[in-house]
Structures are given as structure tokens and as C-alpha cells.
Amino acid sequence: MSSDTHAPEQASDITPAQILAEAGRRRTIAVISHPDAGKSTLTEALALHAKALREAGHVHGRAGRAGVVTDWQDMEKQRGISISSAVVQLSHRDQVINVVDTPGHADFSEDTYRALTAVDAVIMLVDAARGMEVQTRKLFGVCKQRGLPVITVVNKWDRPGREALELLDEVESVTGLKPTPMTWPVGIAGDFRGLLERGTGSYVKYTKAPGGATLALEQRMDGDEAVKVEGTAWQQALDEHDLLSATGADHDEEEFLAFRTTPVYFTAAVANTGVGQVLDSLVDVAPSPHPQADVEGQDQVVDGRFSAQVFKTQTGMNPAHRDRLAFARIRSGVFHRGMTVRDNRSGRPMVLKHVQTVFGADRSTVDVAYPGDVIGLVNARHINVGDTLSEAGRIAYPPLPVFAPEHFRTVRPTDLRVGKQFRQGLRELDAEGVVRVLTSDSRGHGEPVLSAVGSLQFDVVQYRMTNEYRSPVVFAELPYTTARITDADGAAVLRAKRGVEVLEHADGRLFALFSDEWRVRGIERDNPGLHLEELVATSV
């Protein structure tokens, strides 16, 4: 897909007013939840309703049905989970919607956190049977920290689950946000007949399409017809709707954007029911791009000079060419193909010739893009995650945090004859953030140390090194459980300590590895002034 635009063909003709108008047409959102709540399925269903797909896939590869577009990696298809964030760009009601599908598993939380720095709002998916699960609560904490407005979607209403009012109580008690349902289910969980649209009072009755790969059939009717068709189920939904209104649970846009309320929708994403209303909400409710603060605390206005921040890199999207794509969220100004920008970290100028928009693993060249859009820079190998690209070269956004690793293993190739593939694979997986590769003079580069937030990251390394880089590897556990960043003086002190190892990352940072937190505290106590910088807690 190409980036949608109403602007003139020549970027030099685009005025600040036109940039603001185009930014106003953009919505950039992430989908978050606990694993297996249906994030990728919902993203797929949104794409189907936006007519970006003719058929929806399925995360578990049901016979005769394709996998979802956002889970394009072989390992994702095999395990039925997202291990890396993915982007799709949709067009709906003359608006451009950029959706970032994030991993739900805690082991990939660093990838999810980075994706949340690139969006303006989130869809928080809640399983109708399991409610607010552990990882959903943690990710909500990140949204609260960043002030990202939250749209709540209660999914899997076509399966047995809890009562709707009970789920609303849990959402409010966990998040502190007042739920303001926009749709209300007719029929209990497991007997999903349709939705009461609270804004209009209309009833939308659904009939699932065969196989669930296409849009469900919708029959829209007024209240008088609904009571004839659904009887007591409609009356119960109507009574609960009145109760919600009596308690002030009606949507207020200002309260939502101020992070005090959360609109709620009910869906069965795998059956493509209730999803159209969620898609409409991204136009009607979700915020458009707004000024972002740079490292100096100054807001960069949306209609200013071009700036974008890289939040992710990915290799292997095109196996035929083994290229690398750097994903950048445009913060301000207009991108036009062929423009020259500077990287704030290196100061290097670069001409943006090969830039693409992304739809899962599919890509197409983009000529013009605006604030809110996510663009992919092809083979920009000197760009790192967190870098700011800007036209003037003077803008820098706050760096993306590094999560505290808790798992450490050495890695080596099983066949020394593929040393080149081994080094290339680790270098690219490190750049993506799959793991962090650490080296030292004492260990050499033939058996580096991998640090990870969760052990599943090592499974990803094992799989991709074997299947993408043709260099099978073996691991060995190390007796460390925590890490700090130190400086050269600190490294000199720490190298003399037992139970501590100092290694270097490719970005020049020095990581000190410790057996446990008790060891860290003891060394800090005995060495006042020692530089030991804590990383972002994994439990955020």
C-alpha cells in the first residue's frame, strides 16, 4: 500500500496548513494485551473491515485459511504468537489509520515498549473469560506512564465468559479509568447475538460468515424490531444500557483524552463481529498526531520541519535480498522521497531514496508521508533504534529505554566453517533488539554473551540463526541475573571483583553483569561514587 495523501504532487508546494490537515487525517495506534487475547486476529479483522484484505487469516493456521498478515515470520506462524511488532496502514472514511500489532508475551516486552513510543493511543484487548491478565496490566502501566489514551475492546464474546458489568468493574478497579461502553452485547458471553449501539439505540444483529474469513452479515434494526427478534436478551441489554447512563458511563471525548475514561467495545474478532464499530472509533474517538517534546523539553509542532524517530529495525522481511528495514514514526513535517536528512546521533547526512510503507511483510514505495505515518527505510544499516532523523539535523527526541535483562547465555556456532554467517546473524539480531550481544577481550568474538529479558528470546535466536543465517548455534548458561550500565572508570573497578563481568555492546555502552542484586548492593556500598546505572525494570 502507498501512503494516502490529498496533498499536491510536489512536496515543495505543501504548506504548513496542508501538513496540519494531513496530520488531522492520521490515527496511529497500537494493540496491546496478554498473549492469546486476539491482538493479531483483531488487527486482521480491522484490515478486512477497511477493505485492505479480501479475507482474514487466522493465527493458528486453520486448515484452508491463511495466517494473519502481521504474524509473517515462520516462527510466529508455527507457534501462533507474535514475537515482533508489525505495522499495517489502513484507509477508512477518508482517514489514514496506522496500526501497530505488538507482541503480548512478557519476554518480548522491550519490543512492545518501543512500539508504544511511536503511537498516539492504544487498543487494550481484554479476554471476555479471563479479564485483565498480568501482561495487560503491565502494559497498561506503560500507557499510563506515557499518557496514551486507551480504547478497551472486550474480545471473544462468542465464547463462554464473564458478565459484561463484572468485566467493566474489573477494568475500572485495575486501571482507574471509568469505562464508557460505546457498544453493549445482546446475549451473554458464548451467546453473542449482536450489539446495542449506545449512541443511536440501534441493534446490529450478526450472522457469522462461513469459515469466518469474510465479513459477518449485519442486519440493522430499531428497538421495536429488536425486542421482537431477541425478546428478553434485548430487554436485558436495554436495562443495562439505562443503568450505565444513570451512573454517568457515557462517552466524553475530553475525559477520554485526559486519561480519565476508556471507551469500551465488545467483539468476536475471529468471527469479524463488532469490529466495524472499533474501526469507526479510530476515526471518531482516537486522537490525531500532536506536538512531541524533544530532549530539551521543547514541543516540536506537527507542521514544522521534518523529523522522525526510529523505533524498530527488522531484517529478513524480504528473504531474497536479506535487506534491513528501519521503522520510523514521523513526528513533524512532511517526508518526500529524495529529501536529505541527518541522524542526530552520528551527524551523518542521508538521502531518503528507498523508503516504503509496510503492510505486515508486504511493502511498497512511498513518495510522500505525514506526521503519524510509519515509514520503512531500506538498508539504512548505520541507523540505530532510538535515532532521530530530521531535515535540519538539530532535533533529537528522548532516547528509547533499555530494559533490564535477566537471562544471560554464551553462544557459539556448531560449525566453525560458517563464522561469517554467525557474526552477521548476531549483528542483525542485535540491531533488531531480539537480544543484546555483548563481547569482551577475554571472551573474544567467537563466543559472545547474549542478554535477554526472557528466555523465549533465545528460542527466536536459535530458530533464526538456523533457518535464516544457516548457522546453527548452541548456548551455555551464565550465573548472572542482573545488569547495570557502567563507565570506563567503573569497569576498571568492577573487573577486579568476583562474581562480576564487564562486557561491551556495539553501541559502546559497558554492561556489568552480576550474580544477583545482593552483590550489586554490596559493591555499591563498598565503592561510593561507582557509576552503576539501572535499566528500565522488566516489570514495567
> Annotated binding residues, as ranges?
101-105
Task: Report the C-alpha gap between 525 and 279 in whole angstroms.
Answer: 55
Task: Report the C-alpha gap between 140 and 124 in whole angstroms.
Answer: 8
Look up residue 117 and give its three cell numbers: 513510543
List, in order, residues 6 or more apart from 399 with CB less than 8 Å away: 295, 386
User: Do residues 319 and 289 make contact, with C-beta atoms less than 8 angstroms apart?
Assistant: no
DSSP 432-476: HTSSEEEE-TTT-SSSPEEEESSTHHHHHHHHHHHHTSS--EEEE
Among residues 158, 145, 169, which one has the least CA distance to residue 264? 169
Please state the separation of Cα 371 from the chain's center in Å.
Answer: 18
Question: Binding-site residues for GTP, please?
Answer: 101-105
Question: Facing residues of 505 across strands?
Answer: 438
Which residue reads 528460542 in cell numbers? 459
Task: Report the C-alpha gap between 411 and 424 in whole angstroms.
Answer: 14
DSSP 306-335: -EEEEEEEEE-SSTTTT-EEEEEEEEES-E
The DSSP secondary-structure symbol of 533 reads B
Give the sign of the dihedral formed by CA 76, CA 77, CA 82, CA 85.
Answer: positive
User: Do residues 373 and 330 make contact, with C-beta atoms less than 8 angstroms apart?
Assistant: yes
The beta-strand segments (E) located in 82-228 are 86-92, 95-101, 121-127, 150-155, 178-181, 183-186, 194-197, 202-207, 217-221
User: Do residues 52 and 90 make contact, with C-beta atoms less than 8 angstroms apart?
Assistant: yes
Angle at 322 between CA 319 and CA 326, to 5 degrees: 110
Neighbours of 351 (CB within 10 A): 10
User: Do residues 104 and 81 make contact, with C-beta atoms less than 8 angstroms apart?
Assistant: yes
- What own/partner pairs with CB < 8 Å and gap ≥ 24 does 236-245 have? 237/184, 237/185, 237/186, 237/196, 238/196, 240/164, 240/165, 240/184, 241/184, 241/196, 241/198, 243/165, 244/181, 244/184, 244/198, 245/198
Among residues 318, 184, 177, which one has the least CA distance to residue 245? 184
Among residues 461, 485, 455, 492, which one has the least CA distance to residue 474? 461
- Sheet strands side by side (includes 355-359): 349-351, 340-343, 388-390, 307-315, 324-332, 374-378, 355-359, 362-365
Angle at 318 between CA 372 and CA 363, to 5 degrees: 35
Question: Facing residues of 482 across strands?
Answer: 514
